[in-house]
Amino acid sequence: MNLISEFADFTMTHEIFHSESPLNLESGESLSQFDLAYTTYGQLNRDKSNVIWVIHALTGDSKAAEWWSGLIGEDKFFDPSNHFIICANLLGSNYGSTNPFSVNPETGEPYFYDFPHISPRDLAASLERLRIHLGLEKIHTLIGGSLGGQVVLEWAYTLGKKLDNAVILASTAKTSPWVIGFNETQRMAIESDCTWGEKHEDAGKTGLSTARAIAMLSYRHPDDLARKQAENEEKLDNFRASSYLRYQGQKLSKRFNALSYWVLSKTMDCHDLGRGRNGVDKALAQIEARVLTIGVNSDLLFLPSESQEISRKVKRGTYKEINSTAGHDAFLIEFEQLAYILQSFYLEH
């Protein structure tokens, strides 16, 4: 499938890449075939040196110019009139790529709870299939935050000299017990939904809403909630913070599903760049690309020190920090700071 549209002054396409070759996974399982939905903006230049590959976070999709509108688009830092920008929906996600509701070709029935365990390394391997399919010999910049940053690291390791720049935002080289703990509490919330275990797309929907509310607390900083959800009157109940979290949970449950959330949160948990590579330090030292890590001073989930560690241990690393009260999600909203940091990084080359 190939959908092409004119968006402002540049071309945008939505396509599906289908791989007939098995994808062998770290878990020992495999996907005998798979689909990746992907979106592109702009066009390749003559020598194909203008590729910007974006990797979305946990509940994102391939339409990067929508959820990162302050960074991607006409007259933005990554302008499709100058760059060929591509973003693929990650395996396991329910925005067009193979996911738990897809039909398992081995059984003729949807995977549901039998969908295989997928690691960030597996996600990088699937994206590598797409890169080869598109005939892209080099990637100028690979950029992603949170789970997307984990996949950026894994793919940067295997791409070697085929990648010029890796930009990793609010992420880590190995998932901490702190993050795993937050994710586990969210899965416990999903498990507590009486519909969890049923084989339909709304299974675990209420639990997912609760899980998202838990997640939002980890994505924000207490000061941010104090500023935005403060009460202007004395109350005994019905607090703004309560309404905010319920709204965020319901909002996600309308566009995402519990099974994809379960799969991708497990993916995030098992991230370890050093697995089978003699540890994180030696793995980081093997990355050939220039690496920019960006932390958020108020991030309580992926700590700034974790981003700093990556930049210190790669061959050519730079660390910069976003100052914001927004917490972890600042990498999705502090566009002016991001553009300044990226511009400075490119000028250092």
Each residue of 65-77: pLDDT tens digit?
Answer: 999 999 999 999 9
Residue 141 Cα to chain centre, angstroms: 15
Q: Is the pLDDT assigned to residue 343 strictly greater than 90? A: yes
If you average pLDDT over residues 186-212, what whole number do you get?
A: 98
If you average pLDDT over residues 184-199, what whole number do you get?
A: 98
DSSP 21: S
- Map out the domains of the chain as residue ranges: 2-176+272-347, 179-267
Percent of the chain whose pLDDT exceeds 90: 94
| 16, β-bridge pairs | 37
The two domains 2-176+272-347 and 179-267 share their CATH topology (first three levels equal): no
Q: What is the pLDDT of residue 178?
A: 98
Residue 52 Cα to chain centre, angstroms: 15
If you average pLDDT over residues 47-52, what whole number do you get?
A: 96
Work out the pLDDT band at 232, boundaries 50, 70, 90: confident
Q: What is the pLDDT of residue 49?
A: 96
DSSP 327: G
Residue 75 Cα to chain centre, angstroms: 24
Residues 6+ apart with CB under 8 A from 170: 145, 146, 149, 294, 295, 296, 299, 301, 302, 307, 328, 330, 331
Give domain 2-176+272-347's CATH superfamily.
Answer: Alpha/Beta hydrolase fold, catalytic domain (3.40.50.1820)
Q: What is the pLDDT of residue 187?
A: 98
List b or e across 14-50, with b for residues whose CB sees 16 or more CB atoms inside 10 angstroms: bbebebeeebebbeeeebeebbbbbbbbbebeeeeeb
Q: What is the pLDDT of residue 9?
A: 55
CATH class of domain segment(s) 179-267: mainly alpha
Average pLDDT, the chain: 96
Assigned token pair, 202: 């709304």
If you average pLDDT over residues 261-280, what whole number do you get?
A: 98
Q: Are 331 and 171 in contact (CB under 8 A)?
A: no
Tell which residue, 334, 305, 314, has the closest CA to residue 153. Answer: 314
What is the DSSP track for 144-205?
Answer: EETHHHHHHHHHHHHHGGGEEEEEEES--SB--HHHHHHHHHHHHHHHTSTTBTBSSTTTTH
Q: What is the pLDDT of residue 231?
A: 86
Q: Is the pLDDT assigned to residue 38 strictly greater than 80? A: yes
Sign of the torsion formed by the C-alpha atoms of 108, 110, 114 and 119: positive
Please identify every residue annotated as catalytic: 146, 299, 328
Work out the pLDDT band at 1, boundaries 50, 70, 90: very low
Say how far apart CA 294 and CA 168 lie, in whole Å.
6
Work out the pLDDT band at 199, boundaries 50, 70, 90: very high
Assigned token pair, 181: 């703990």
Helix/strand/coil for 104: strand
Q: What is the pLDDT of residue 145?
A: 98
